[in-house]
A and B are shown apart, each in its own frame.
Chain A
Amino acid sequence: MNLNLKVWRQQGGQSKGKFEEYSLENVSEEASFLEMLDALNEQLISKKEDPVAFDHDCREGICGMCSMTINGEPHGPEKATTTCQLHMRHFKDGETITIEPWRARAFPVLKDLVTDRSAFDSVMQAGGFITARTGSAVDANEIPIPKGVLDEAMDAAACIGCGACVAACPNASAMLFTGAKVSHLNSLPQGQAEKERRSILMVEAMDSAGFGGCTNVGACESVCPKTISLDVIAKLNRDYHVSSIKKIMRF
């Protein structure tokens, strides 16, 4: 198939970006979206032009590195699919495809489609862990965990940290991301000791990293490649408020 591509090009964080148009011929329907971009880059290199920079790594939908908005949708048109697993058979011959980076204040553009998502790491560093020093653990079967509790924790833990939820949200809120980690850890018996502290610290870190507030739009859930449910936001709200009240009452 032949395609027209409108790709966001931006030299660096401080420079102004704009869309550039390219035409690409003979794209295989079997190719993945990123392989299509590889072909575009080979074409650019052969003309001694600067290839399009984009983040990608595992190309099997699990590392969370790939991050682009395709025709206005983070990760493109397919449900529960990262950009790297999106295949060209979902596009039409002659179609014009618009490709942009994640747009969010907390994710500044570094170059072309590459953004800085270290704000996510800072949220995790604030409380996205259970304090368990190496060597201090009890036997793994010491504390039984009901299967239902475990399954819910696993659903939340499936988040790949790609940031599509933030890119889709009109407020650029990171509630789905933060909620997923808080739900995962707060639901497990091992996570109880730090539950309150974790809820408060992660929300504070999220706010100070420049993410917006949640107004229950739900766009995050619909673009999430791992189908993380909005329930995690409800759980985060509950744990955060309960923790905040407890903190005040202790004064």
Chain B
Amino acid sequence: MNLDSKIPEGPLSEKWSNHKFKMRLVNPSNRRKYKVIVVGSGLAGSSAASSLAEQGYNVSCFCYQDSPRRAHSIAAQGGINASKNYQNDGDSVHRLFYDTIKGGDYRSREANVYRLAEVSENIIDHCVAQGVPFAREYGGLLANRSFGGAQVSRTFYARGQTGQQLLLGAYSGLNRQIGLGKVKMHTRHEMLDLVIVEGHAKGIITRNLVTGAIDRHAADCVVLTTGGYGNVFYLSTNAQGCNVTATHRAYKKGAGFANPCYTQIHPTCIPVHGEDQSKLTLMSESLRNDGRVWVPKLSETAEKIRSGELDPNLVSEADRDYYLERKYPSFGNLAPRDISSRSAKEVCDEGLGVASSGLGVFLDFRDAIARDGEQAIRERYGNLFEMYNRITGEDPYKKPMMIFPAVHYTMGGLWVDYNLQSTIEGLFVGGEANFSDHGSNRLGASALMQGLADGYFVLPYTVGNYLGELGIDKAGSVTTSDPAFEAVEAEVKARIDRLLSIKGNRSARSLHKELGKIIWDYCGMARSEKGLREAIEKIQALKKEFWSNLSITGSASTLNIELERAGRVADFIEFGELMCRDALMREESCGGHFRIEHQTKEGEALRNDKDFAFVGVWGYNGDAKEPSLYKESLDFENVALATRSYK
């Protein structure tokens, strides 16, 4: 597998400008002869599709939802980072670059991260021009807030709905192009496989989720912006439909999959209530500015709280363990996401958890309310408290909130070079679906930045460069009558027939739930060699169970929610095994990946830069064989590798 990252020559700050100048251009009147497929309509997809269409390319965009506006980018709450330095507090492109590299625990590629920081300013300008209502001060200028992992105030926000407003902005640009006829939108369509012709990605096979029709779509190149794979855990903060199918299918067609074990577990989510739970809800990280995290010192006290015998407000100060403040005095309750999550797991493992399931810790606003008054807290967090109350039925002004970590984001994804092109020529990958910018841990408010950077300011250039290199005589040369389409379409249909013919006794949901439990237990917040080996065996057994005992009612030629789910779960099962393999291979702890064998005496993550400063890329070798590992070494020329300390 060729892992040439194609990082341009020259100093870090000039790489992107130099590269843009050297790129091949396509004459404006020739652009209409090319067609680009964009799969997914979240921040990266909508912005790439509309920007490419603005340039003159013909774009076909696909999403599984009923409208591009529903993609899960919409659920992001907190904000979007940019190095505008509007607060005059010392921010710069270089500082945003540095914070992102450090936050990612030195497992990302310098040149890509620098470019991300560089274009971050253009994103804010563009979004404001589109009418995104970012918060403003009385003077009419933009407001900022602070986020974890940074000492400057660089986060732009639109109340608690920043993702929604940014997506609606990108969606409005997309709508304009749909109205102009430059983008053909295919809603309620799911990509089921990738078509490769002579080594180049030239199209996709989709299923129309309403009629069940299997269709071929050809283009000059394909862009995947299909999001992350957090739902491999079954319970996550992702939307129900989020899936790994598009990227996993691309992997099986030859695209390298990078760092699948890098997953982010967010510390402040509402705890699981019971077996029927389908979804976890995130509470903004900003709550940790005023809330204090604690559990009782004694497990007997915890037991009484769990059974409802004891009101937590009556637990005396001496019997409470504010464990984050105790372990990380300088960052306290604002320790980074990975560290806070792991600490919560540790206290719950010791039997100190306070939710009825045993899996929950308190986030207590009692002291903040006493200090600043209930009104001040209401102004800061009113909407979040309301949301908590709506879901749990409890009043956080009166009783401490309960929180527990949940899977939130996946840093791993398809491997891409500097041009965001995967190991398959003509297959580009943007947003959460690629691996490139966050290393092994993503900082808050950086996902929105990356999705839009890829879609607005990187892909429109690098896709154009690829098409320019192809040459105008190749434009539109591959059609759906190519035998490759027929072959892949036949595979897709055969797989659907196979799913429907099992006629077993278990629903796809129950199998998904079982997979999620394996992944959470063995490949969640703390991983070990023994556990991961066990997990791989269990997943292989589950795969057999799936293909022999799945039950789907209905047919393939109608709207069939169980068929949709089964296809996604089948891919999650295979992918879950790959994730465990990656976690097993990476004999170190870094960011979101914590191997219990690799920790300091104090229980902190222990990185191994000598042996593991590389991107782990997996290549598919067929279902019967183990995948091969390829490595892209990470060279740090501009930052010195250091141990993160939040003590």
Contact = CB atoms under 8 A, between A and B. Distances in A.
Interface of A: 11-12, 28, 30-32, 34-36, 38-39, 41-42, 44-46, 48-51, 53, 55-65, 78, 81, 85, 87, 89, 110-111, 114, 116-118, 120-121, 124-126, 128-141, 143-147, 150, 153-154, 157-158, 160-161, 184-185, 188, 190-191
A62 B175 contact: no
Given A144-B140, A157-B158, A190-B130, 4 more contacts: A62-B164, A110-B210, A121-B67, A140-B84
Contacts of B507: 41-42, 45-46
B187 A118 contact: yes
A45 B126 contact: no
A34 B50 CA distance: 34
A169 B41 CA distance: 30
B130 A63 contact: no
Given A60-B281, A141-B142, A45 B84 contact: no
Interface string B118-143: 00001011111111011111111110
Contacts of B66: 55, 65, 116-118
A154 B158 contact: yes
Contacts of B129: 130, 132, 136-138, 190
Nearest to A64: B70
Interface of B: 47, 50-51, 54, 65-72, 74-75, 84, 86, 122, 124-131, 133-142, 158-159, 161, 163-165, 168, 171-173, 175-176, 178-179, 185, 187, 210, 237, 239-241, 273-274, 276-279, 281-282, 387, 390-393, 456-457, 460, 505, 507, 509-510, 551, 553-554, 558-559, 561-562
A226 to B, nearest CB: 9
Contacts of A48: 551, 553
18 contacts: A12-B558, A30-B392, A41-B561, A45-B562, A62-B161, A63-B239, A65-B66, A87-B390, A111-B210, A118-B67, A121-B178, A124-B171, A129-B175, A134-B460, A144-B136, A144-B140, A150-B135, A158-B164
B554 A50 contact: yes
A51 B554 CA distance: 9
A134 B456 contact: yes
Given A134-B460, A157-B165, A185-B131, A51 B175 contact: no
A36 B509 CA distance: 14
B509 A30 contact: no
Contacts of B140: 144-147, 150
Given A38-B278, A130-B172, A63 B75 contact: yes
Contact of B136 (A62, A145, A157): A145
B72 A129 contact: no
A138 B130 CA distance: 11
A135 B553 CA distance: 50
**Which secondary structure characterizes the binding site on chain A?**
loop
A49 B128 contact: no
Contacts of A51: 553, 561-562
Contact of B67 (A34, A49, A117, A154): A117
A244 to B, nearest CB: 21
Given A49-B553, A134-B456, A138-B129, A59 B278 contact: yes
A157 B509 contact: no
Contacts of B558: 11-12, 111
Contacts of B70: 57-58, 63-65
B278 to A, nearest CB: 5
- Closest 5 A-B residue pairs measured CB to CB? A144-B140, A129-B172, A137-B129, A132-B129, A30-B273
B176 A139 contact: no
Contacts of A134: 47, 50-51, 54, 126, 173, 456-457, 460
Contact of B65 (A32, A39, A57, A60): A57
A89 B210 CA distance: 33
